[in-house]
Amino acid sequence: MNNSEQFLVSICCITYNHEKYIHQCLDGFMMQKCDFDFEVLIHDDASTDRTQKIIKEYQNKYPNIIKPILRQENLYSKGIKGLNKKFNFSRAKGKYIAMCEGDDYWTDPLKLQKQVDFLESNQDVVMCYHNRSICRFNGEIEEAPFKMFNNLKQNKIIESKDMIDVFMPFLTIMFRKDCINEYIKIDQMGVFGGDTFLRAFLSTKGKAAYLHFNGAVYRQHEGGIFSSLNDKIGKCKKAIQTRELILERIPNVYRKTVYKSLFKNYSVLFLNYLRSKKIGKAIKIIPLIVKYFFKFL
């Protein structure tokens, strides 16, 4: 790493009580083999275990690369969300931003190089992503858990209008930093699905691309945000809330896609209400199902 701090990629990482996992995450960053410099921006939200101590050890070892913010007071518990956007994106110096949270990790040492090469050669593509494996609760690695990726045998371009509801694993995405200057200013209060919100914003700037390789592992564990969301009704309601805020706060988004997504989520919510024998609540959302069905047609 030279002293000019001319980074091509900024890796953005948020952590909280990831003592058991942060070594593997940071090692995945530092094993990257590329013909450019990168920086690692970490925001730790006042971990109560040894996470911050481990981060400091890596910072001492790689002082020009590892750049942490180590909180003493937890912000998420105060309702402050979008920590990457607020504290990592705003200080990123790279042309591209890559994402990975502290409990996940990368496995392909050429991951960054592959993604940068693709984005450099395809100026109409604003973000790219790839396949990933899952580390299950019992520690077993499931290498090919997604049929949608298994059926793909090569790179694939995703049109802007289709980006919002295409599954793009958060720990695999890379996008152009110059596309998110406006995004940093958008109020994210009430948004639960930050990755969906970001994807919706980027869809207004260009296309996405699936790159055909598996280069990361998503870890399931009891402390994970999504692992704790066992309530299907609650998940559905939060997905709906995020999509309604997308319509409200991202003016140029392809609205028909959002309408279709709202129709699907309200339909799933309806079925879950019926399964839970909450008939009154199921009946109340029928007009919303009909509304968004006709809006996306």
Provide the 8-state DSSP code for 227: G
Please, which residues have CB within 8 angstroms of residue 1's CB and are 6 or more apart in sequence?
A: 37, 62, 64, 65
- Start-end of CATH 3.90.550.10 domains in the chain: 9-228
- Measured between alpha carbons, how far is 214 from 111 in angstroms, rounded to an integer? 9
Instruction: Specify the pTM.
Output: 0.91
CATH superfamily of 9-228: Spore Coat Polysaccharide Biosynthesis Protein SpsA; Chain A (3.90.550.10)
- Ordered per-residue pLDDT tens for the chain, 297 residues: 444 468 999 999 999 999 999 999 999 999 999 999 999 999 999 999 999 999 999 999 999 999 999 999 999 898 888 899 999 999 999 999 999 999 999 999 999 999 999 999 999 999 999 999 999 888 889 876 666 666 777 899 999 999 998 989 999 999 999 999 999 999 888 888 899 999 999 999 999 999 999 999 999 876 655 444 448 899 999 999 999 999 999 999 999 999 999 999 999 999 999 999 999 999 999 999 999 999 998
The span from the CA of 276 to the CA of 272, in Å, is: 6
- Work out whether strand 38-44 and strand 9-15 pair parallel, antiparallel, or are unpaired: parallel
8 Å CB contact between 144 and 227? no
- For residue 67, the SS3 value is strand
* Residue 205 token pair: 């700037």
